[in-house]
């Protein structure tokens, strides 16, 4: 008995030092902060190492407001949700030496499905989740400041395209309402071609709209020149992606600027989930329903990839492995066979583009076919 009691008493003293070594102050933050970002005011909650609330309050959502509140604070872990302000706020807080976690707002159900949702509670919840395990927040990484600025040019161009489309549809609809129709015309020459076909009764009302369409087309051509110059000067990797028929400067630039760092994906296949091109999953037991894609990530890139997939599978798409694979999916039948094939080709196209970016290889349209011939 004496021998056993001695050995038992020795165990805690043996384990004590080893525990203190693994839990170093460097790895465990003494304070954890949760910030619920608002457009004008942001709520924050500061927890100590034991999880008790040290302080709560609000600060202005400006550089000066965050500087006053967090610049002189000791390095700590700060959690905030994705949103309009999260890119510049996260970079600012990191420059102060803090460990910043940007939570994926789509994944943190405990916040957006809460029955008691307000800024104060959200900030406190973010702080508690970050203190326990940051993986519970499904953290994301924002693109660099330069990539964000360059991507703004593409988004501005995309906004102008949408405005032009709405104006053109508006003109066509109003002409139909008086019993007339406008001839077919591309977006570039729409204003010039349909101007003389406007009915006399509504000509004065619609002419200013055509003037706006013409002006927007001029601005879009200027955007295209600047984006092309940007691609040649700063983003040479886009030339690798444009080897694929159907992939132009807009798609390759949007893809490059959205991904920013290709090496953060260990496998090229992971890119499909990041862009929201993978089907949702809701499996339980033997139930495995076919669901729509998640549509997570950047909607502009996803839309551009789907547009490329339509070209690849269309009448003018050249022969390639992607085209043959997509056509094999379409012939399987089913109500939505073509739609599924387009999405599948867009998904595989994203994987190929990422692979070309990482490896720098020359694109071979019929690589799989040639490999089969060589093996035969």
In this prediction, residue 25 carries a pLDDT of 43
Q: What is the DSSP letter of 115?
A: S
What's the rounded Cα separation, in Å, for the pair 275 and 296?
6
In this prediction, residue 109 carries a pLDDT of 76
In this prediction, residue 110 carries a pLDDT of 76
In this prediction, residue 277 carries a pLDDT of 93
In this prediction, residue 289 carries a pLDDT of 81
In this prediction, residue 334 carries a pLDDT of 72
In this prediction, residue 356 carries a pLDDT of 95
- The pTM score is 0.81
In this prediction, residue 218 carries a pLDDT of 96
In this prediction, residue 18 carries a pLDDT of 39
In this prediction, residue 27 carries a pLDDT of 52
Q: What is the DSSP letter of 277?
A: -
In this prediction, residue 114 carries a pLDDT of 74
Tally helices (H) and strands (E) across the chain.
15, 5
Q: Count other Cβ atoms within 10 Å, centred on residue 366.
A: 15
Which one of 137, 168, 193 terminates a domain? 137
Between strands 77-81 and 32-36, the pairing is parallel
Is 160 in the same domain as 226?
yes
Stretches in the chain below the pLDDT threshold 70: 1-29, 376
In this prediction, residue 255 carries a pLDDT of 97
Which one of 234, 252, 272 terminates a domain? 234
What's the rounded Cα separation, in Å, for the pair 328 and 354?
23
In this prediction, residue 376 carries a pLDDT of 63
Tokens coding 121:
């509670």
Is 273 in the same domain as 351?
yes
Domain extent, residue 247, equals 239-281+291-370
Burial level of 300, CB count in 10 A (0-12/13-18/19+)? middle
From the list 266, 369, 270, the residue with the least C-alpha distance to 322 is 369
- b/e per residue 143-155 (b: at least 16 CB within 10 A): beeebeebbeebe
Which one of 109, 137, 165 terminates a domain? 137
In this prediction, residue 2 carries a pLDDT of 42
* Torsion sign over Cα 88, 91, 97, 101: positive
Q: What is the DSSP letter of 35?
A: E
């Amino acid at each position: 008995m004496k021998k056993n009691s001695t050995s038992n008493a020795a165990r805690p003293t043996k384990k004590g030092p080893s525990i203190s070594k693994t839990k170093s102050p460097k790895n465990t933050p003494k304070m954890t902060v949760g910030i619920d970002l608002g457009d004008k005011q942001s709520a924050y909650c500061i927890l100590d190492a034991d999880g008790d609330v040290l302080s709560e309050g609000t600060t202005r959502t400006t550089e000066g407001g965050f500087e006053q509140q967090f610049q002189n604070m000791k390095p700590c872990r700060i959690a905030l949700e994705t949103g309009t302000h999260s890119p510049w706020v996260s970079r600012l807080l990191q420059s102060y030496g803090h460990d910043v976690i940007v939570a994926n707002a789509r994944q943190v159900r405990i916040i957006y499905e809460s029955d008691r949702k307000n800024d104060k509670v959200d900030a406190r919840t973010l702080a508690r989740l970050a203190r326990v395990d940051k993986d519970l927040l499904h953290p994301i990484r924002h693109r660099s400041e330069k990539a964000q600025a360059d991507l703004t040019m593409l988004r501005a161009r995309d906004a102008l395209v949408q405005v032009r489309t709405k104006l053109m549809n508006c003109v066509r609809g109003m002409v139909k309402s008086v019993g007339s129709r406008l001839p077919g015309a591309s977006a570039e020459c729409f204003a010039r071609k349909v101007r003389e076909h406007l009915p006399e009764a509504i000509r004065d009302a619609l002419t200013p709209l055509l003037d706006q369409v013409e002006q927007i087309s001029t601005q879009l051509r200027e955007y295209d020149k600047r984006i092309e110059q940007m691609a040649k000067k700063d983003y040479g990797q886009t030339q690798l992606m444009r080897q694929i028929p159907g992939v132009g400067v807009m798609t390759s630039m949007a893809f490059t600027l959205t991904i920013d760092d290709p090496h953060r994906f260990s496998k090229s296949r992971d890119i499909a989930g990041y862009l929201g091109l993978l089907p949702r999953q809701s499996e339980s037991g033997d139930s495995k329903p076919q669901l729509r894609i998640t549509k997570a990530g950047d909607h502009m890139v996803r839309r551009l990839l789907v547009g490329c997939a339509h070209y690849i599978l269309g009448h003018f798409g050249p022969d390639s492995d992607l085209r043959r694979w997509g056509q094999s999916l379409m012939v399987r039948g089913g109500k939505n066979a073509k739609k599924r094939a387009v999405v599948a080709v867009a998904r595989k196209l994203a994987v190929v583009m990422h692979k070309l970016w990482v490896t720098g290889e020359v694109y071979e349209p019929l690589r799989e076919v040639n490999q089969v011939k060589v093996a035969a």
